[in-house]
């Protein structure tokens, strides 16, 4: 079988599993024959990833747009190509340092002639399940960490990324052999449930919390360790001391980037009581200035018909349950189902009974809640599932620390949104319902490595003094050792 041509046309589960097992066996055998890639090989792999992105930049951007119906070229270049390339560059710069064995102190029972080392070694074959919303970024960022750690990878693309999957399958053969990297297309979504049942050495999933639970259940059957990058409802909180102009400018930029289809975007907004009308007017001005024509290529389409219909149903549900619905598009809100361009809306007077406050929105709808004091914000957020991020807007350091310390989230960006995800020297990951585990930068290298503890016995063995038959000497030595722990 040509391992590069597996598709979801084969709907029989056992047949799909057999084909996936063949790919896995191929990579695992290659790993076992050469289990520790050296520094030179890892650098070559990272540079090959970079060349693939550079040499096929336009084709990748076009494939993403084809899958979306329309994806802004600038957004693809900025959020996908640039971020991935910059991450590879940073990893190449730091890899030699990361790979060095770590010296660790020895215990008294081994002192002074023995030594400890912690050696980062490859895990083997890593499975990666990629979502559709940032399919290049969320393919190449994990691969950067996976190859930096010396592993091999099988990557399953989303069924909503058919054009991109076909392109990656075709071009990857020019940069990597199948035993190092293989892309798997999933044309109808039938491969995903089987993929997570395979006995990988690590499995990375990015997607919804509901699917993440299913992936974790499947992986548990094989005791496969997982990293889950999920979503959730990430709030932004504008404090009374912070410029409402600046907050609106930044929040609306990130909220409408990719038409709101970002797991870390602002899912709802807290405003101080009495400031809602001013924010609404500023948001209207910003949207109409930035997107004078929603049908232009600057404004990204909703990914598919089902998601598009879901957003309209969510909007209708909020309206029927008492929300004030504000179309920010300046009268462009008439439905145009052909292009799936969903007009941006604000929703006021929202309640938890509304669908928009019960699940991750993944679209250009922004619910607004008002508050009178900081305790209201903290109590509300902590009464719900832990979010992937929080975004406090304040110039008051004490208030910033209050929010950071009192609310647990996967990450934090202060006075902006999402930018913590783009920092290579800090980890990215969720907590609780928003995920588990980290990657990016050094933490990505660690996630896909086995930190192997190695103890080297020296020529002298102090434990000989404690070997049986036990006598007074052993007792005296242990008495001294125990006293030394005080």
The residues annotated as belonging to the active site are: 229, 263
Tokens of 56: 């096929």
Is the distance from CB of 209 to CB of 434 less than 8 angstroms?
yes
- Rounded Cα gap, residues 282 and 60, in angstroms: 35
- For residue 318 the two structure tokens come to 């909020």
Q: Which residues of 74-89 are buried (b: 16+ CB within 10 A; e: fewer)?
A: ebbeebbbebbbebbe
Residue 428 pairs with which residues in a beta bridge?
Answer: 439
3-state secondary structure at position 311 = helix
39-55 and 137-148 helices, crossing angle to 10°: 160
> Are 256 and 75 a contacting pair, CB within 8 Å?
no
Cα(225)–Cα(437) distance, integer angstroms: 10
CA separation for the pair 283, 366 (Å, rounded): 11
In eight-state DSSP terms, residue 105 is: P
Closest CA to 37 of 124, 137, 113, 108: 124
Q: Say how far apart CA 348 and CA 270 lie, in whole Å.
A: 11
- Tell me 199's DSSP state: -
Name the strand (E) or helix (H) holding 345: strand 345-348
Q: Which of 438, 20, 29, 388 is nearest to 222 (CA)?
A: 20
Contact 324, 370 (CB under 8 A): no
- In whole angstroms, what is the distance from residue 145 CA to residue 148 CA? 5
Rg, the chain, Cα only: 26
Burial 118-140 (b: 16+ CB within 10 A, else e): eebbbbbbbbbbbbbbbbbbbbb
């Amino acid at each position: 079988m040509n391992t590069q041509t597996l598709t979801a046309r084969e709907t029989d589960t056992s047949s799909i599993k057999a084909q996936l097992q063949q790919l896995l066996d191929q990579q695992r055998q290659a790993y076992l024959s050469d289990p520790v890639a050296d520094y030179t090989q890892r650098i070559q792999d990272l540079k090959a990833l970079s060349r693939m992105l550079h040499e096929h930049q336009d084709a990748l951007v076009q494939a993403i747009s084809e899958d979306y119906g329309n994806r802004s070229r600038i957004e693809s270049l900025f959020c996908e190509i640039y971020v991935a390339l910059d991450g590879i560059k940073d990893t190449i710069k730091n890899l030699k340092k990361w790979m060095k064995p770590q010296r660790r102190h020895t215990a008294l029972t081994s002192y002074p002639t023995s030594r400890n080392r912690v050696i980062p070694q490859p895990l083997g074959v890593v499975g990666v399940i990629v979502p559709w919303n940032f399919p290049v970024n969320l393919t190449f960022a994990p691969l950067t960490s996976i190859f930096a750690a010396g592993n091999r990878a099988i990557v399953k693309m989303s069924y909503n990324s058919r054009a991109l999957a076909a392109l990656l399958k075709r071009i990857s053969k020019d940069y990597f052999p199948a035993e190092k990297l293989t892309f798997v297309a999933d044309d109808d979504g039938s491969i995903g449930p089987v993929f997570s049942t395979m006995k990988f050495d690590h499995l990375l999933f990015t997607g919804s919390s509901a699917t993440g639970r299913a992936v974790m259940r499947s992986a548990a059957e094989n005791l496969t360790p997982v990293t889950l990058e999920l979503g959730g409802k990430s709030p932004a909180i504008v404090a009374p001391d912070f410029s409402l102009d600046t907050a609106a400018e930044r929040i609306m930029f990130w909220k409408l980037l990719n038409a709101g289809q970002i797991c870390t975007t602002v899912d709802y907004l807290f405003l101080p009581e009495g400031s809602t009308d001013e924010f609404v007017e500023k948001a209207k001005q910003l949207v109409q200035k930035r997107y004078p024509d929603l049908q232009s290529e600057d404004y990204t389409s909703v990914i598919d018909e089902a998601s598009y219909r879901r957003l309209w149903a969510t909007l209708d549900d909020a309206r029927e349950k008492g929300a004030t619905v504000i179309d920010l598009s300046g009268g462009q809100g008439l439905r145009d189902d052909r292009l799936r361009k969903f007009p941006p809306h604000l929703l006021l007077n929202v309640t938890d009974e509304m669908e928009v406050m019960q699940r991750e929105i993944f679209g250009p709808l922004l619910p607004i809640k008002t508050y009178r004091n900081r305790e209201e914000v903290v109590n509300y957020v902590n009464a719900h599932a832990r979010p992937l991020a929080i975004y406090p807007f304040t110039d008051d350091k004490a208030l910033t620390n209050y929010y950071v310390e009192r609310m647990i989230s996967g990450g934090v960006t202060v006075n902006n949104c999402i930018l913590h995800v783009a920092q290579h020297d800090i980890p990215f990951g969720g907590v609780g319902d928003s995920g588990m585990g980290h990657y990016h930068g050094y933490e990505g290298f660690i996630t896909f490595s086995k930190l192997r503890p190695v103890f080297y016995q020296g020529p002298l063995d102090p434990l000989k003094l404690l070997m049986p038959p036990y006598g007074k000497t052993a007792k005296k030595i242990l008495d001294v050792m125990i006293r030394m722990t005080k």
